[in-house]
Amino acid sequence: MTTATKPAQGASPPRARGDVRGARRLFVIRELGIALALVLLVAVTTISNSRFLSAQSRKDLMLGATILVVLAVGQTIVVITRNVDLSVGSVLGLSAFATGKLFLAMPDAPIVLAILAGVGLGVLCGAVNGALIAIARVPALVVTLGTLYVFRGLDYSWAAGQQINAADMPSGFKRMGTAVVLGVPVLALFAVAVLLIAGFYLRSYRSGREMYAIGSDPDAARLSGIPVGWRVFTAMTVSGALAGLAGVLYAARFGTLDAAAGTSIELNVVAAVVVGGVAIFGGSGSVYGAALGAVLLSTMGAALPVLRIDPFWQQAVVGSLILAAIGLDRALTARIARRLRGRRARGA
Amino acid sequence: MVRKRLGTWDVLVVAVLALVVVASSVLVDGFATSRFWGFLLLDVIPIALIALPMTLVIITGEIDLSVASVLGLSSAVMGQLWLSGTPLPLILPLVVLLGVACGAVNGLFVTGFGLPSLAVTIGTLALYRGLSYVVLGDRAVADFPFSWTGTFIEPLPGTTVPWVALVVLGLAVVFGVVLHATPIGRALFAMGNNDQAATFSGISVAKTKFWLFVVTGAVASLAGFFWTMRYASARADNGAGLELAVVAAVLLGGVSIFGGRGTLGGVLAGVLLLITLRNALQLADVPADTLTVVTGTLLIISVVGPNAASMLRDRLRRRRPA
């Protein structure tokens, strides 16, 4: 590789830029592909039953995607740094139950306080994950597998079988769960805001770009002076915070809460992220792709019954989608690698 | 040096296990009875069984998260076959074939297409579990003949030790010998330490890993058969979440998640520790949610522990004049 590039040094910069543009085009195609699959799914389902796109159904679809999108955004930031956060479902459950408890104790509490409490709890959980990963140098997969158990166990022992009913929630909070602005549910606006902020941060901030650098090659990132431990800690904390926010949104949407909220949703989140074209070993992908993946998965869950497909098929379809997505990504990166190598060789 | 550190972790797990056994015998009523140990061993069997090939898989630096779903799919298919009138002696080989096929799909995606096993087996975790719902829905098949279901929980004459536990022990010896005393075992360690170096020293990495996934699938389906017989119930959600307990036990037993390090004896001690602690707490009326916290904490300690110990040792050594 090095011997092939050296003679072409003088001419290589413009070529390299062209290659990068080509590579980027392929990734845009990757995201367009999911969008196309989503449009196709909605079109086929609507043809089969025109009520699938009625105002009420549109609202349900958006609400259904909200929580998964918020979680997928956090997970994307983590996966880009070549880590993974399997504890998000448990953090969501903990935060949702905490929200319910808060309103039981203080029925007049402002909504902002509930959101702050949920996010704060999430930050705490995420910081525990992050500290274990960054300081004790333990792989994220194992740490978050452990905290998946721990946080859920804490949730269960806190709840002690108690269920909080929608009737116990203040009406203002419940209204937030159903309110609509210009045809878009308020809860979905939270997801959109989170998505745009995270997208802008990852694209335009130095520390955002460093996340990608860490995921591409952690050792190289460390050698070039990037505070790898600190960035990974931040990514885990952000993922925890978003899971906490998702818990509050869950409480607002469903009202009825027990300790089992969000059980095994982490699988769907990882699925959404992978289907959305974020490489599981870090360094590439975008929050927009992951959000599209989340919308695709949740829409599929809603479309199957409309298409009169046995709902028992849903999980099998999710599994096949994951396999198809990682297979496709592999083929794409192989093609990019071949293209880069081909141009370099020709340049030499 | 590496060998020595490994040894100390194994010894530590065994010591903690002994401590738990002694403490529970004194503190927990009914722990030191042979009846309790009979039930405990029945709980250990499925996890210990799957932990055997899982140890080998993790030592090569891969992971298989689909094992519990293969168990569930085997159970669901068993139920469906039984409903359609297939005799049990025919169902057993069919179910193992199914496990082989599931493992082969994992192996093909990982070694044939070069995809990360973590992502592949998260995909097949969903796929196989989904298929088991497609096969059996939310029904339960529970009319297996007692002549079969009773046999699988039968203890050895004169004891409370289930005979299946001896079969698992026999398999453990086979896996242990393969891992620690044959060229295949050394090849597995070599792959876990460095794939490329292993390739250049003439080991066919892809082929070995493929067959390892196949063996894992087959063993997981055997565990599915046992599970169905033991609870006399075939359901699509049988063993859901068991993959986490298996991985936790393997890591607790001192196998490095990065591959290249670990012993089968350590893993067996890890499995026993996990289940003994859980059952002892259960017997002491500790609520089930606390058990979840204990499992999670053990898993974290099992990875933080060795890391912290080696960091500490490095620091001490640096302080000492050379």
pLDDT in tens, A257-282: 888 888 878 888 998 998 888 888 88
How confident is the model at residue A22, as a pLDDT? 60
Question: Which distant-in-sequence residues (6+ apart) come within 8 Å of B257 by Cβ?
Answer: A139, A141, A142, B58, B63, B251, B303
A315 CB neighbours in chain B (<8 A) are 126-127, 129-130, 133
- Region of poorest pLDDT, from A83-97, B29-43, B299-313: B299-313
Phi/psi for A50 (5° steps) reads -65, -20
How confident is the model at residue A10, as a pLDDT? 41
Provide the CA A132 distance to its chain's centre, in angstroms: 21
The total of other beta-carbon atoms located within 10 Å of residue A277's CB is 26
How confident is the model at residue A21, as a pLDDT? 61
User: How many structural domains does chain B have?
Assistant: 1
B79 CB-contact burial (10 Å; exposed 0-12 / middle 13-18 / buried 19+): buried
Q: Does B241 have pLDDT greater than 90? A: no
Which of B122, B285, B290 should one mutate to test binding to chain A, selecting the residue with the greatest count of A CBs within 10 A?
B122
First and final CA of chain B: distance in angstroms? Answer: 17
Q: Does A348 have pLDDT greater than 60? A: no
A138 CB neighbours in chain B (<8 A) are 300, 303-304, 307
pLDDT band, residue A12 (cuts 50/70/90):
very low
How confident is the model at residue A11, as a pLDDT? 42
Mean pLDDT estimate for chain B: 88
Distances (CA, A) of A235 to A55, A126, A148, A268, B318: 37, 9, 17, 20, 33
Question: Which distant-in-sequence residues (6+ apart) come within 8 Å of A80 by Cβ?
Answer: A202, A211, A212, A215, A235, A278, A282, A283, A284, A285
Please indicate whether, in this complex, the C-beta atoms of B303 and A145 are within 8 angstroms of each other: no
User: How many structural domains does chain A have?
Assistant: 1
Structural domain range at position B294: 2-319
User: What is the mean pLDDT of the segment spanning B214-222?
Assistant: 97
Tokens standing for residue B20: 């738990």
Q: Give chain B's largest Cα–Cα span.
A: 75
Choice between A322 and B318, residue whose per-residue pLDDT is larger = A322
Tokens standing for residue A344: 């370099």
Min distance A109 CA to chain B CA atoms (Å) = 30
Provide the CA A172 distance to its chain's centre, in angstroms: 28
Nearest CA in chain A to B66: A319
**DSSP type of residue A181:** E
Answer whether A243's CB lies under 8 Å from A126's CB: yes
CA distance B277 to B64: 25
- What letter represents residue A150's amino acid? V
Handedness of CA B201, B206, B209, B214 (dihedral sign): negative
How confident is the model at residue A7, as a pLDDT? 41
- What letter represents residue B267's amino acid? V
Structural domain range at position A270: 2-347
What CATH code is carried by the domain that includes residue A181?
A: 1.10.3470
CA distance B80 to B74: 10
Mean pLDDT estimate for chain A: 84
How confident is the model at residue A13, as a pLDDT? 44
pLDDT in tens, A114-153: 899 999 999 999 999 999 998 887 888 888 988 988 998 8
> How many residues are given for chain B?
322
With residues binned 3-state (H G I as helix, E B as strand, rest as coil), the percentages for chain B, rounded to 5, are 75, 0, 20
Provide the CA A242 distance to its chain's centre, in angstroms: 9
Tokens standing for residue B137: 């829905």
Question: Where do we find the tokens 């019954």?
Answer: A305
Selection from A54-63, B22-31, B132-141 with the highest mean pLDDT: B132-141
pLDDT band, residue B78 (cuts 50/70/90):
very high
The total of other beta-carbon atoms located within 10 Å of residue B311's CB is 13
How confident is the model at residue B214, as a pLDDT? 97
DSSP for B116-177? -HHHHHHHHHHHHHHHHHHHHTT-EE----HHHHTGGGPBPTTSS-BHHHHHHHHHHHHHHH
Q: Where are the beta strands (DSSP E) in chain A?
A: 180-181, 184-185
Q: Where are the beta strands (DSSP E) in A122-262?
A: 180-181, 184-185
**DSSP type of residue A185:** E
Tokens standing for residue B157: 């004459």
How confident is the model at residue B2, as a pLDDT? 46
What CATH code is carried by the domain that includes residue B224?
A: 1.10.3470
A139 CB neighbours in chain B (<8 A) are 257-258, 303
How confident is the model at residue B312, as a pLDDT? 75
Nearest CA in chain B to A134: B304
- Region of poorest pLDDT, from A291-300, B68-77, B276-285: B276-285
CA distance B3 to B5: 6
pLDDT band, residue A24 (cuts 50/70/90):
low
Phi/psi for B38 (5° steps) reads -60, -45
pTM here?
Answer: 0.84
Please indicate whether, in this complex, the C-beta atoms of B303 and A281 are within 8 angstroms of each other: no
Tokens standing for residue B133: 């719902």
CA distance B167 to B46: 12
A326 CB neighbours in chain B (<8 A) are 115-116, 119-120, 123
Nearest to B307 among A138, A259, A322 (CB): A138
With residues binned 3-state (H G I as helix, E B as strand, rest as coil), the percentages for chain A, rounded to 5, are 80, 0, 20
| Contacts across the A-B interface (CB distance below 8 Å) | 146
How confident is the model at residue A19, as a pLDDT? 55
- What H or E segment, with its residue span, contains residue A265? helix A265-275
Nearest to A312 among B133, B296, B299 (CB): B133
Tokens standing for residue A255: 């009202």
Q: Does B317 have pLDDT greater than 80? A: no
Q: Does A26 have pLDDT greater than 70? A: no
Reference A145, options B243, B60, B263; nearest CA is B243
How confident is the model at residue B191, as a pLDDT? 92
Choice between B232 and A53, residue whose per-residue pLDDT is larger = B232
